Chain A
Amino acid sequence: MNPLLAEFITETRDLLEQASQGFLALEKAPGDPETLNGLFRAMHTIKGSSGFFEIGPLTRLVHAAEDVLDAVRQGELDLTPDRVDLFFEVLDRVGEWVDSLEAEERLPPEAEDVSNGLAGRLRGLLSEATDEEPSGAGDAVAEEGDAEDERSACEKVGTAPSWILEVPDDIRRELYQISIEGGPGAVAVTYTPDEQCFFAGDDPFHTARQTPGLRWGRVQTREPWPPPEELDPYRCVLRFRLVAAAPVEEVREWFRYVMDQVELYEVAPEDWGVPAGGPEEGGSGPTANDEKGTRSPGGSEPGGPEDEPLAAAVEILRAQTELLAAPWDPDIRLGVLESVAGVLGSVLTELGDAAGEERVAEALETARAQGSGEPLRALALDVLSRLLGAEKMQQEGAGVEPAPQADGPAPERSPQENGTASGQKIRVLKVDQARIDALMDLVGELVVAKNALPFLARKAEEVFKVRDLAREIKNQHAVINRIAEELQGAVMQVRMVPVSHAFQRFPRLVRDLSRKLGKKVRLVMEGEETEADKNVVEDLAEPLVHLVRNSIDHGIETPEEREAAGKPPEGEIRLRAVQFDDQVWIEVIDDGRGMDPEVLKRKAYEKGILSEERLETITDDEALHLIFAPGFSTAEQVSDVSGRGVGMDAVRAMVDRVGGSVSVQSTLGRGTLIRLSLPLSMAVTRVMIVEVGGETLGVPIENIVETVRVPTDEIHRIKRHEAVVLRDRLVPLCRLGRVLDLGGDEAGPGEEEAVLVVSIDGRELGLVVDRFHEGVDIILKPLEGIMAGFRLYAGTALLGDGRVLLVLNLRELVACL
């Protein structure tokens, strides 16, 4: 894909997200100027950058949105929730189109109609605005002597603005010369930027300076300056007057986003007031036959009459290097090269370099042969360096590095971006995630490879009897170990993103849902800055949507019900992220009606999820976890919001997949808390190693509640099952050695059993093992091949001593009991 388009897509997505947040913020604080300006700017930027591509419907739609926002900003239109709905629809459409651009590099075929429809509705809002016509740029403009109609959007056919006579004689003469020789003609521009334009991200000065073919320019104030203490620096009161030697279409194109703020006048030769026969020295200086005209050669940029020749030469050379650095279409490139060569030759002659012409001709030859502007650019830079001194030179060189070759001539970026971006270093990299994943895989392999070193050391000592070598290997291992750990940490750090990425969409979702369901819901988000692995955060988004939907649909009551229950009519949904050791807890808390365990039990029984026997023994806490069972739904009616009984199931599936757990707490009438405990990083899993019958097994640490030693006489037998009472809870026991047929010692009377208490979906289970070992960080590899069917194990990991550790899948273990 064209890198420019790729950038546009990323940028637009960000802006749409920003805009969406902006609208939500506006609903809370209507008319907040900061937010409004932010929104306006977002639309403006999208519109601006969309202009580079053949996506008219998108540009027009965003343009319409921008216009309406402008009216809102001027206080002519209120943003009612209905109107915000319309804007959201626009944002959604644009979002879809961006997706389509990414997939197929074009808009969907219906875009044209959709755009017209939506833009029409937007424009309809404008006519609803009761006030008089939208105030344009020039409302408060102090008209000056040579006043023109401020609103005219097109070049005037009438008389030349009188100020063009202020243009210094030599420039007038030169322009006259060009125009009578059939050059590109000259355009006089009066540019009166909108007073609020700074808020739209415009830099009129930059726009003015970069006008194609600019020959002369001047900036003035439109009203007398107030004393500095009364000046509002952000209200633009400037007016620019410019003369450009370029075709009027090109100038109009340049100012296309501020067309309502400029007047163009195509200057006729006689307007210059140059006496016929006056022009002289026409041929010596470089003329503007360069059709592109931009940063035109020989252009004494606006300046005093006494522009030193040296400074002018520097300016010209600089413009030429930039010209060369820009990517050109192969068809045009040759022409550009020749015209640049011509200019360089003239400059060198002017500077008194006798051999100049030859060197230029040589460079042009090489440039033609290579099909690149590099030789000419090198020559120009070389001359520049001699003029400016070596030190200054480096900056110049850095500033005009050749732009990456785009498909076809890269359009100029929008002026404001150009203005701030030039010369700044890139501090943030956007990297394809696949590259980071590849890095992570390599780190994993490095860790495993490194783990083999201690084993090698032992072998050196025991088998080959070379103790010194063994020691060396151990030393090296320590070093590699440290680096590998740091590397792993660094890569993980790169992958960490704040959970706010997953939270972003919720303000919008809560708003839409609560409007749809006629409920009042306030969303509170806490701990958005908490960081977790990118995959975890990404996978989080979908289950969270289910949870939040459920909370609004089932949890939060209607305002009437809430008031009847003595609660404030507005419900609250709290999204909270907390980091807890190596886990991140994401909680969805509502203050709604809560869940009744009895109802859940009955429903589960009716749907056949719960056996009759289990119905008797199930605790309330366990009953709450029934909501995660597949096919379970308490909603009486399936709404289009939730209630199909798949949502919560999906939540658990996702949480399982990333190795987390989910728990529920609920108080009837008070609300519900659902907590997802997720690992901070999926790359490394922490397990506790236990020993059973001489085998070592790993148990995921997030499932472990406690480790206890239980005297054998405290183990109760209930029919065929063993259980133990721990802190007034009856915990069933499972002898791993028997279940897995590993053997192992069973403690005799008077001895103690080592019990690892684990929690699986809110149910506790005591695993009887022979011995506890330490906890280790491992990189869990799923079982492959024939072993893939052994669901009892979550996977394997290589231990530091080269042994393979089998990690238990506790949920599967419980299912097998």
Chain B
Amino acid sequence: MPVTYKKTVAVLEGVCTVEEAESLLGWLQEHPKGKVNLKKCEHLHAAVLQVLMAAGPDVSVWPEDPGLQGWIETALAGRGAQARK
């Protein structure tokens, strides 16, 4: 399983496929303050990325993959601010 759901953190690891999008969205709805841990994440399917962008959760650990980190930082920048307002 590329995504492990803990109490307050969803841990995304490896390559997260399109199948994860729906469950992640569900979890983020149930846990509005839930965080995501992307440490071991290598790639997100665009659908998963889209869920993250829409829900704008806090990121507890950024991806080790610098390329991916760059993408996600910019992707979440806009929404994060909007969500906090």
**Chain A contacts to B: CB under 8 angstroms:** 193, 198, 202-206, 209, 217-221, 225-226, 228-229, 231, 233-234, 236-238, 300-304, 307-308, 311-312, 314-315, 392, 419-420, 422-424
Query: A204 with B46: in contact, given A209-B67, A233-B22 (CB under 8 Å)?
Result: yes
Query: Could you show 23 A-B contacts with beta carbons less than 8 Å apart?
Result: A193-B46, A205-B43, A205-B71, A206-B45, A209-B43, A209-B71, A219-B74, A220-B78, A225-B82, A231-B50, A233-B25, A233-B47, A234-B18, A234-B47, A302-B70, A302-B71, A302-B74, A303-B70, A419-B17, A419-B43, A419-B45, A420-B17, A423-B15
| Separation of A423 and B67 alpha carbons in the complex (Å) | 17
CB-CB < 8 A to A422: which residues of B?
A: 15, 42-43
| Separation of A134 and B73 alpha carbons in the complex (Å) | 36
Q: A225-B53, A301-B70, A315-B67 are in contact. List 16 more A-B contacts (CB 8 A).
A: A202-B46, A209-B43, A219-B49, A228-B25, A228-B54, A231-B51, A231-B54, A233-B25, A234-B21, A234-B47, A236-B47, A302-B71, A303-B66, A304-B73, A420-B15, A424-B15
CB-CB < 8 A to B43: which residues of A?
A: 205-206, 209, 419, 422
- Decide yes or no whether B69 CB sits under 8 A from chain A: yes
> Are the CB atoms of A304 and B74 closer together than 8 Å?
yes
Q: Closest CB-CB distance, A392 to chain B, in whole Å?
A: 8
CB-CB < 8 A to A307: which residues of B?
A: 66, 70
> Are the CB atoms of A228 and B29 closer together than 8 Å?
yes
| Separation of A228 and B21 alpha carbons in the complex (Å) | 12
| Separation of A315 and B70 alpha carbons in the complex (Å) | 12
Report which of A205, A226, A424 forms a contact with B46, defined as CB distance below 8 A.
A205
- Most-contacted residue by chain B among A217, A219, A234, A315 (CB, 10 A): A219
CB-CB < 8 A to B78: which residues of A?
A: 220
Q: Closest CB-CB distance, B16 to chain A, in whole Å?
A: 10
- Decide yes or no whether B59 CB sits under 8 A from chain A: no
Report which of B28, B46, B55 forms a contact with A236, defined as CB distance below 8 A.
B46
Q: Closest CB-CB distance, A350 to chain B, in whole Å?
A: 15
CB-CB < 8 A to B54: which residues of A?
A: 221, 225-226, 228, 231
> Are the CB atoms of B74 and A423 closer together than 8 Å?
no
Query: A238 with B66: in contact, given A205-B44, A228-B29 (CB under 8 Å)?
Result: no
Residue of chain A at shortest CB distance from B22: A233
| Separation of A61 and B40 alpha carbons in the complex (Å) | 42
* CB under 8 Å from chain A, chain B span 11-55: 14-15, 17-18, 21-22, 25, 28-29, 42-47, 49-51, 53-55
**Chain B contacts to A: CB under 8 angstroms:** 14-15, 17-18, 21-22, 25, 28-29, 42-47, 49-51, 53-56, 64, 66-71, 73-75, 78-79, 82
Q: Closest CB-CB distance, A758 to chain B, in whole Å?
A: 55
CB-CB < 8 A to A314: which residues of B?
A: 66
> Are the CB atoms of A198 and B70 closer together than 8 Å?
no
| Separation of A377 and B67 alpha carbons in the complex (Å) | 21
Residue of chain B at shortest CB distance from A210: B43
Residue of chain A at shortest CB distance from B20: A233
| Separation of A236 and B46 alpha carbons in the complex (Å) | 8
CB-CB < 8 A to B74: which residues of A?
A: 218-219, 302, 304
> Are the CB atoms of B18 and A198 closer together than 8 Å?
yes
In order of increasing CB-CB distance, the 8 nearest A-B pairs are A303-B70, A301-B67, A205-B46, A311-B66, A233-B21, A225-B54, A302-B70, A204-B46
Query: A304 with B47: in contact, given A198-B18, A419-B15, A423-B42 (CB under 8 Å)?
Result: no
CB-CB < 8 A to A301: which residues of B?
A: 66-67, 70-71
| Separation of A424 and B17 alpha carbons in the complex (Å) | 12
CB-CB < 8 A to B71: which residues of A?
A: 205, 209, 217-219, 301-303
| Separation of A307 and B69 alpha carbons in the complex (Å) | 10
Query: A219 with B53: in contact, given A301-B66, A302-B74, A315-B67 (CB under 8 Å)?
Result: yes
CB-CB < 8 A to A202: which residues of B?
A: 46
Report which of A206, A237, A300, A303 forms a contact with B73, defined as CB distance below 8 A.
A303
> Are the CB atoms of A238 and B50 closer together than 8 Å?
yes
| Separation of A756 and B43 alpha carbons in the complex (Å) | 69
Q: Closest CB-CB distance, B55 to chain A, in whole Å?
A: 5
CB-CB < 8 A to A220: which residues of B?
A: 75, 78
> Are the CB atoms of A219 and B75 closer together than 8 Å?
yes
CB-CB < 8 A to B25: which residues of A?
A: 228, 231, 233
Residue of chain B at shortest CB distance from A199: B18
| Separation of A231 and B22 alpha carbons in the complex (Å) | 10
- Most-contacted residue by chain A among B15, B43, B46 (CB, 10 A): B46
> Are the CB atoms of B70 and A228 closer together than 8 Å?
no
Residue of chain B at shortest CB distance from A308: B66
| Separation of A546 and B22 alpha carbons in the complex (Å) | 47
Residue of chain A at shortest CB distance from B65: A315
| Separation of A675 and B46 alpha carbons in the complex (Å) | 52
| Separation of A314 and B42 alpha carbons in the complex (Å) | 14
CB-CB < 8 A to B29: which residues of A?
A: 228-229
Residue of chain A at shortest CB distance from B69: A303
| Separation of A315 and B53 alpha carbons in the complex (Å) | 25
Query: A312 with B66: in contact, given A203-B46, A419-B43 (CB under 8 Å)?
Result: yes
Q: Closest CB-CB distance, A113 to chain B, in whole Å?
A: 39
Residue of chain A at shortest CB distance from B46: A205
Q: Closest CB-CB distance, B64 to chain A, in whole Å?
A: 8
Residue of chain B at shortest CB distance from A311: B66
| Separation of A312 and B47 alpha carbons in the complex (Å) | 27
CB-CB < 8 A to B56: which residues of A?
A: 225
> Are the CB atoms of A221 and B42 closer together than 8 Å?
no
Q: Closest CB-CB distance, B69 to chain A, in whole Å?
A: 7
Query: A203 with B45: in contact, given A217-B71, A233-B50 (CB under 8 Å)?
Result: yes
Query: A238 with B14: in contact, given A225-B54, A225-B79, A233-B51 (CB under 8 Å)?
Result: no
CB-CB < 8 A to B47: which residues of A?
A: 198, 233-234, 236
Residue of chain A at shortest CB distance from B76: A219
Q: Closest CB-CB distance, A523 to chain B, in whole Å?
A: 32
CB-CB < 8 A to A219: which residues of B?
A: 49, 53, 71, 74-75
Q: Closest CB-CB distance, B26 to chain A, in whole Å?
A: 9
Report which of B46, B50, B70 forms a contact with A304, defined as CB distance below 8 A.
B70
| Separation of A228 and B27 alpha carbons in the complex (Å) | 11
